[in-house]
Amino acid sequence: MSTPYAKLPAWADYGLIPLINLSVAFIVAGFVVMLVGENPFRAAVILVEGAFGKGTGVAFTLFYATTFIFTGLSVAVAAHCSLFNIGTEGQAYIGGLGIALVCLSFDSVLPWWVIFPIAIVAASAFGALWGLIPAYLQAKRGSHIVITTIMFNFIAASVMVYLLVGPLKPAGSQAPQTRNFLAGAELPKLNWMIELFGAKIRSAPLNICFLLALVMAFLVWLLIWRTKLGYEMRTYGHSSKAARYAGISETRIIITAMMVSGALAGMMALNPVMGDQHNVAIDFVSGAGFVGIAVALMGRLHPVGIVLAAILFGMLYQGGAELAFEMPAISRDMIVIIQGLVILFAGALEHMFRPYIQALFASVSPKSVGMQAVNGKGA
């Protein structure tokens, strides 16, 4: 039988449908807000104003978005090779270890612009290494990547707890974290960028990692759609049999894809560690790896979509924090519910409204809908 889905014009596919899904998520979230006795419209205003209203809000939104761009790209690269990397969380955590080692060693002797490239390499290498082991197990032993990467999140967490309460903790300190880095390991802020638009910034953590994230988004696009390696990854991702036929080594492609994915995850740690906290603390990743899965899916595994989805989630983080502050009835957990609804409608229920929209398009303008449906076998 032919596929039941006809094609939609691109703008509907990439614009209209996500917008409808998002709107429904917010409407349902509005009911949840009503349920706790608050005015959903006022809540929405606070959320959006908190995220984009003031310069500081925008800076925070983009700071969070930076983190999610990295994790979203990480998940997407693996997904193009049909590998579901749930280990972004752990790979980012271990990436933080690489950064800590570089910064703690050199922050007294080198300026930031020398340390930064070294830290990028270290973060990528550590993240890639954490992706390499599950990849090897998948390629050589057939251990399922979903299972192993989840387990590696726990191993990463345990390793980091051990290091942060032991070897990496300064003597006498009670906090499970490294010592604070010296000025040499602090990345420049990007607040001036927002101030260019006339907004005032008090203090916000937005830093040059945002630019790095955008560069990486471009490089990921280049990798996936313009290089031989990306071609091989996509071939394997769509059909492992076709990859075998084309002479693409399964082992090599799985390991390469997971290492690239792990490297991107590791780079995520640069943003909070060198850009904001200036130390490595326990649980500094705090779920950003998992948000990356939602960001990648919502962004349709395309870097442009991922950047946009990351900004959306950055907005939910920043605006949500404001909301929890302004409306005491709405707790931090409620924000998580709203985020969950976005993930539910934009990710899991992505195709819920699709058939109706297609029917609508087909009845209004048959030409806009493609010819996919008649091209199965037979007919």
Nearest Cα to 105, choosing from 122, 126, 91, 128?
122
By the rule CB under 8 A, 180 interacts with another protein: no
By the rule CB under 8 A, 371 interacts with another protein: yes
Distance CA 22, CA 312 (A): 10
Answer for which of 228, 328, 333, 364 binds another protein (CB under 8 A) is 228
Beta-bridge mates of residue 207: 189
CB of 85 to another protein, least distance (A): 20
First to last CA, the chain: 9
By the rule CB under 8 A, 331 interacts with another protein: no
By the rule CB under 8 A, 202 interacts with another protein: no
Q: State both tokens at 176.
A: 């499970």
Nearer to another protein, 105 or 249 (CB): 249
Nearer to another protein, 175 or 246 (CB): 246
Letters for 350-369 (x = contact with another protein by CB under 8 A, - = none) are ------------x---xxxx
Using the structure block, give the residue that is written with the tokens 């709405």: 330
Distance CA 244, CA 317 (A): 43
Distance CA 293, CA 303 (A): 13
CB of 239 to another protein, least distance (A): 5
Q: Which stretch binds another protein (CB under 8 A): 103-111, 244-252, 264-272, 282-290?
A: 244-252
Distance CA 187, CA 167 (A): 25
Answer for which of 6, 59, 81, 327 binds another protein (CB under 8 A) is 6
Rounded to 5°, the CA angle 110-206-260 comes to: 70
Identify residue 261 by its one-letter amino acid code: S
CB of 358 to another protein, least distance (A): 9
Answer for which of 244, 252, 332, 351 binds another protein (CB under 8 A) is 244
By the rule CB under 8 A, 247 interacts with another protein: yes
* Backbone φ, ψ for residue 207 (5° rounding): -140, 180
By the rule CB under 8 A, 141 interacts with another protein: no
Distance CA 214, CA 308 (A): 11
Answer for which of 10, 37, 142, 241 binds another protein (CB under 8 A) is 241
The C-alpha R_g of the chain, in whole angstroms, comes to 22
CB of 309 to another protein, least distance (A): 22
Q: Which stretch binds another protein (CB under 8 A): 49-57, 225-233, 256-264, 296-304?
A: 225-233
By the rule CB under 8 A, 300 interacts with another protein: no
Answer for which of 27, 175, 211, 242 binds another protein (CB under 8 A) is 242
CB of 40 to another protein, least distance (A): 39
Nearer to another protein, 234 or 300 (CB): 234
Total residue length of the chain: 379
CB of 177 to another protein, least distance (A): 40
Crossing angle between the packed helical segments 55-80 and 250-268, to the nearest 10 degrees: 170
**Cα atoms in the 13 Å half-sphere on the side-chain side of 65:** 30
Residues 94, 239 contacting (CB under 8 angstroms): no
Nearer to another protein, 331 or 375 (CB): 375
CA 250 to chain centre: 26
Nearer to another protein, 198 or 247 (CB): 247
CA 264 to chain centre: 10
Answer for which of 227, 251, 329, 351 binds another protein (CB under 8 A) is 227
Helix (H) or strand (E) holding 45: helix 40-48
Beta-bridge mates of residue 177: 281
Instruction: Compute how many residues bind another protein; rule: CB under 8 A.
Output: 38
CB of 361 to another protein, least distance (A): 8
In the complex, the residues that contact another protein under the rule CB under 8 A are 1-2, 6-7, 222, 226-229, 231-232, 234-235, 238-239, 241-242, 244-249, 362, 366-379
